Amino acid sequence: MDLLAQQLVNGLFIGSVYGLFAVGYTLVFGVLDILNLAHAAVFTLGGLIALWLVETWGLSIWIAFPASVLICGLLGLLLDQVAFAPLRQRADSNFSGLISSIAMAIIFESAALGLFGARTVRFPAGTVSVHIWRWEGLSITSLQVEIVAISILLMFALTQFLNRARVGKAIRAVAENDRTARLLGIHVDGIIAFTFFISSALGGAAGILFGLYFDSLSPDMGRSIELKGLAVIILGGMGSIPGAILGGLAFGLSEVLTVAITGTSNLRDAVAFTVLFTVLVLRPSGLLGRKKLREA
């Protein structure tokens, strides 16, 4: 019994990181109808930049974390300006935007490779003090709790922001129909840029949390989560924020339970994607996606 409970904890934990990653992914899709394939590269850079701040500048992780998140947000602005904005006026901007985001992903990854080297790097010992709670054979680390708490907090803040804040409402208006939004006097380009800022900041935050927990960062670490993030937002319903969170948790749990049952990690992705396939056959718009895909 406590074995199963421990596996559920493992699954919820990794699922919340997937969720945080996917929320940023799906946000851009909800607003622009464009997949930003450079999101995984920003995820990687988030982790590596935080490590760099901690290691080279001797900053505490509690300062390095927001600083790195901010830098990732700025990278999001850059991404928008370089890869998406110039194409926005063209007729086929969705497709060309997808391609140019792949180019940005390669540039970001190469930059990470050049700046940080190909080696797997780690946060110095004692970056976060880890306390381990044990209860009835169940073992949870303070780091896990912090990571889940930060993920939930960020996801909650985002939802509130979109529902209540003026800019959040503007984002939703642009998501609904950018032409109407423009007619209503909303600065559409600014809102899109801001969406990229938030999306990339969240992606970077997921990268830092991922790097902190597994304590192993490399320029190619984004690849392991890239396809999963895509699967998570499809599973949850494209463009749906609660869907991305739910999809992330479902994905994390299915992965962990598959490994636990089969005793090998080779079937992990196979089962996760089979689940995705089944859901899509039964519910083509994903778990929480309504007929109307754009919700943001």
Partner 1 sequence: MHNIQRLKPLVVTLVMALCFLSGQLSTEVFAAASEAKIGFALSMTGGAASYGATQTKGAQLAIDEINAAAGADGLKILPVFEDDASVPQQGISVFNKFINADKVSIIIGPTLSNTAQVADRIAQDAGMPVLGISNTAKGITEIGDFVFRNSLTEMIVIPNTIKVAKEKFGLKKVAVFYGNDDAFTKGGYEAFKKALADAGIEILTEQSFAKGDRDFSPQLTQIKGKNPDAIIVSALVEEASGIVSQARQLGIAATVPIIGGNGFNSPALIKNAGEAAEGVMMGAAWNASSTLPANSKFVAAFTAKNGGAPDQFAAQAYAGVYIAYEAIKKAGSTTDHKAIRDALLQLKELDTVLGKFSFTAGRDADHIPVVQIVKGGKFTVLE
Per CB under 8 A, residues contacting partner 1 are: 3, 6-7, 10-11, 14, 118-120, 122, 125, 130, 132, 134, 137, 139, 141, 210, 214-216, 221, 224, 255-257, 259-260, 263-266
Give min distance, CB of 16 to partner 1, in A.
13
Collapsed DSSP state (helix, strand, coil) of residue 131: coil
Nearer to partner 1, 4 or 165 (CB): 4
Collapsed DSSP state (helix, strand, coil) of residue 263: coil
Give min distance, CB of 279 to partner 1, in A.
22
Nearer to partner 1, 214 or 277 (CB): 214
Nearer to partner 1, 30 or 252 (CB): 252
Nearer to partner 1, 17 or 53 (CB): 17
Nearer to partner 1, 9 or 107 (CB): 9
Give min distance, CB of 274 to partner 1, in A.
17
Nearer to partner 1, 60 or 142 (CB): 142
C-alpha to C-alpha distances, 242 to 3, 11, 111, 174, nearest whole angstrom:
29, 18, 33, 19
Residue 253, Cβ neighbours under 10 Å: how many? 19
Give min distance, CB of 112 to partner 1, in A.
13
Give min distance, CB of 3 to partner 1, in A.
4
Identity at 1, one-letter amino acid code = M
| Residues across the chain | 296
Collapsed DSSP state (helix, strand, coil) of residue 56: helix
Give min distance, CB of 145 to partner 1, in A.
13
Residue 193, Cβ neighbours under 10 Å: how many? 18
Give min distance, CB of 109 to partner 1, in A.
13
Nearer to partner 1, 156 or 214 (CB): 214
State the Cα–Cα distance between residues 186 and 178, nearest whole angstrom. 9
Residue 225, Cβ neighbours under 10 Å: how many? 23
Nearer to partner 1, 134 or 291 (CB): 134
CB 293 within 8 A of CB 285: yes
Give min distance, CB of 119 to partner 1, in A.
5
State the Cα–Cα distance between residues 217 and 150, nearest whole angstrom. 20
Q: Which residues pair with 139 in a beta bridge?
A: 134
State the Cα–Cα distance between residues 183 and 175, nearest whole angstrom. 14
- Which residues in 42-62 are b (16+ Cβ under 10 Å) and which e? bbbbbbbbbbbbbeeeebebe
- Give the distance, in angstroms, between the CA of residue 196 and the centroid of all CA atoms in the same chain: 12
